[in-house]
Structure 1
């Protein structure tokens, strides 16, 4: 069982009206689907889920969903938020089969950036071109994140997707699609200097304003 446990309750009444009533009662309507079982509508306590949603693991880890005492392993597949309130409107969870590979996006953690030669060079900017990447693996091999060590990065270096170290049993499906999919993950380059004013702009600045002729009386 996952160390991340969410408690839920089954619900029998569905529809927009029922969902609105749940939200007014500080609950979140949700659905669990996948596997050999039929989709199951559930509800969760908003405050506890909101606190869990502030953590990175909530989006990329296998969760133990306790529905009326029956625990299922699930992944969060969709979260709907209110456009301006701090409110979760709906959640979708997918059941996880321990023997079936899954695809999920996990965050990238960049390490030792400030200690690298590039990070110590004045005027050099290290940009993170990706913040997450989709991986494929069995549930037991799913990492909460992938580490990208930038400790040896030099000015002008580019770290590509194929250079990200993967735990055993984990692969990046995109890399199987061809070299053009081996995209940059991090880039070290000199920051852009402020653009010099163009000649046209310089000339226009030196031209005196036209005189306004006054009407003669």
Structure 2
């Protein structure tokens, strides 16, 4: 994985009002920290960040974060987004050691066609769209590919079943499900359920009529009224 240069500006003014002004000018407030350094408040241009993360590695792109002439090997630790517009509001960068392992989330992609599942009216379900992996920064895979061609209705692909790239270790329990199979309802089952529901409603209605008939048979004015 190649590094991407991203230029940042240090010495930004902190505070909510200043952050809003920055965002209005298409500059995103950010912070970089890690490897024993004190957290540094910086800002990056929105367009520059978008371009830097537009490659196949996405948010896991290794960045040469350049601040006032100093270069910090870094990756994005967190992107904070506006809850409605989904625009990036703040970025946390973490400085990394290119020779040490780190833990990152990598997207999972399904490959192949599960014909045995389709023939049984089943549906392949991706239980984990992302998977945490541990590896060195330059060895971070763009994605984890899972072949579903041999899946049947009884198949569950777990973490232990995955074939990981060399030097990459999945983080999690071996029995955690990654891909499962869902059983879809068939028209026959739907018709049977509908018929059973109609039958149950009919029986309930007959019971109400019988109770009503008993009440009518026993009705009438009390004997004391006749005496009067």
Same fold judged by TM-score > 0.5?
yes
Verify the 8 A CA contact 1:118 1:188 in the aligned structure 2: no
State how far apart, in whole Å, the 2-side matches of 1:74 and 1:205 are: 69
1:98 aligns with 2:98: yes
Match of 1:162 among 160, 163, 179: 160
Deviation, 1:40, is 1.1
Deviation, 1:91, is 0.6
| Root-mean-square deviation over aligned CA pairs | 2.8
Indicate the residue corresponding to 1:183 in structure 2: 176
State how far apart, in whole Å, the 2-side matches of 1:71 and 1:187 are: 44
Deviates more, 1:183-192 or 1:193-202: 193-202
Note the alpha carbon deviations across 1:67-115, whole angstroms, 9 max, x for none: 2443322121111111212421101011111232211111111111x2x
Higher helix share: 2
Verify the 8 A CA contact 2:125 2:180 in the aligned structure 1: yes
Note the 1:117-156 alignment, pairs <5 A: 117-118=115-116, 120-121=118-119, 123-156=121-154
Q: 1:48 to 1:12 in 2, by over 3 A?
A: closer
Verify the 8 A CA contact 1:61 1:143 in the aligned structure 2: no
Verify the 8 A CA contact 2:64 2:73 in the aligned structure 1: yes
Verify the 8 A CA contact 1:136 1:170 in the aligned structure 2: yes
State how far apart, in whole Å, the 2-side matches of 1:90 and 1:166 are: 32
1:192 aligns with 2:177: no
Indicate the residue corresponding to 1:26 in structure 2: 26
State how far apart, in whole Å, the 1-side matches of 2:91 and 2:162 are: 31
Q: 1:174 to 1:131 in 2, by over 3 A?
A: same
Verify the 8 A CA contact 1:64 1:71 in the aligned structure 2: yes
- Structure 1, unmatched stretches of 5+, are 176-180, 211-217
Verify the 8 A CA contact 2:65 2:73 in the aligned structure 1: yes
Deviation, 1:65, is 1.9
Indicate the residue corresponding to 1:71 in structure 2: 71
Matched residue of 1:38: which SS?
A: strand
Q: Normalising by the residue count of structure 1, what TM-score does the alignment of the two structures yield? A: 0.79
State how far apart, in whole Å, the 1-side matches of 2:51 and 2:199 are: 56
Q: Normalising by the residue count of structure 2, what TM-score does the alignment of the two structures yield? A: 0.76
The total of aligned residue pairs comes to 203
- Structure 2, unmatched stretches of 5+, are 210-228
State how far apart, in whole Å, the 2-side matches of 1:202 and 1:66 are: 74
Deviates more, 1:60-69 or 1:16-25: 60-69
